[in-house]
Amino acid sequence: MKSRLYISVIVAVIVLCLVLSGSVFAAELTARIFSGEAKSARSGRTWAVNLKIIDYNNLSGNFVGQTEWPSLNSIHRIEGHLIGARFTFKETEAIRRGSAHLNCEYAGIMAKDAIEGNWIDADHDHGTFKFTLKTSDEIQKTSDEIHKSSPDTKVTNDLLTALFSGEVRTKGGVWKANLRFTAYDPASGNLEGELAWPSLNSIHRIAGRMMGNQIFFKEVDYIKRGSAHLNCEYTARYKHGVIIGQWVEPGVDQGNFQFQKK
């Protein structure tokens, strides 16, 4: 009887320690940034992701925050629960809609300055993730790099005055396309333009964002309705007059593309 009581006390102490350590750590999470990656178990692909806790309730364990997917041009609102060391959350809403999926669910363990566990995207994919707490020096360094890589006036002028011509490729074929940017706001990074498909008799309005030398845009509306599809999303890098990257039509097709300044 005494041995059972002794074991029960030990278990209770361990649980209490986990709860208290988790609560103390959680209390220090406000405005902290975690950086890491999510990996697919099906394809082996990895995606860089930043996670930020915006508000945490010590009594309920509930929190809200956001995940940012730089390569997918997406920022999602998250809602989760932290009790002891167990850390769970779900991506519930698009703050910036890109090509990352909503409603993915994450379950992990928080230990010291890291969170590690598994994720699932119902009916699509599943895998693992690991986030590490960024130090103040790392946050400052990231800020400096973003500032350093911001487009200068010459790059902006190149984008707004040039016509880019090239090819969009997929397993099913190759299509010629012409890309032109018509508006850019340096303060927000937002941009607009047109994407023309001569062989498909289509011209689409595009909207997106430029961050450093990264360009993200989506075909959002018809200027001239033809046989090209709307809602295709593009992620690219701009360097020395060349825009090169990948595109996806969610749930339908994907491939790569390259445009050269004429």
Phi and psi, residue 32, nearest 5°: -80, 150
Listed in order, the ranges of the chain carrying CATH 2.40.128.30 are 2-148, 153-261
Return the amino acid letter for 219: E
Instruction: Kindly give the pairing relationship between strand 74-83 and strand 86-96.
Output: antiparallel
| Cα 188 to Cα 184: distance, rounded to the nearest angstrom | 9
- Structural contact between residues 21 and 83, judged by C-beta atoms closer than 8 angstroms: no
Return the amino acid letter for 225: R
CATH number among 2.40.128.30, 3.40.50.2030, 2.60.120.460, 1.10.10.10, domain 2-148: 2.40.128.30
pLDDT of residue 142: 52
Mean pLDDT of 96-118: 90
pLDDT tens sequence across 26-44: 445 666 789 999 999 988 8
CATH of domain 153-261: 2.40.128.30
pLDDT of residue 136: 60
pLDDT tens sequence across 201-244: 999 999 988 877 788 899 999 999 999 999 999 998 888 889 99
